Amino acid sequence: MVFEGEVSLENNGGFASFRGLVSFPAKSAALLLTVRGDGQRYKLTLKLDDSTGTNQYQVAFVAPREWRTLRFEPADFAASFRGRAVAAPIVRFVDVHYVGLLISDQQPGAFKIELKDVRAE
């Protein structure tokens, strides 16, 4: 999958994101993300459901320029709601129904990241 575009800071902009359905096995200890990109900072996002009033879990990473597999454990993810940190239990991957990518942090301009695989171990 290729996620690319341009981030604009106009009209309170400054981010781009996508998400899709996913399911992980009950005993998943980590998520493996095989990715390459443009060297910018992204966040892997997890949501437990699709309602607008629920938290999401995020972990930040810099997109490597060459294919690389990044490993994230449940404790690596921080809970947030509309971009603000919130107190929440550590995420259980079996409860996750949506996974996505986010570019934010006021990084204007073109971006491109390729995602080969997201899997649990």
| 21 has a pLDDT exceeding 90 | yes
pTM score of the predicted model: 0.93
| 37 has a pLDDT exceeding 80 | yes
Cα separations in angstroms, 3 against 28, 31, 80, 101: 26, 19, 22, 8
List, for residues 38-95, the tens digit of each pLDDT value. Answer: 999 999 999 999 888 889 999 999 999 999 999 999 999 999 998 889 999 999 999 9
Cβ atoms of 4 and 109 closer than 8 Å: no
Residue-range domains of the chain with CATH: 2-120 (2.60.120)
Cβ atoms of 84 and 8 closer than 8 Å: no
Cβ atoms of 36 and 68 closer than 8 Å: yes
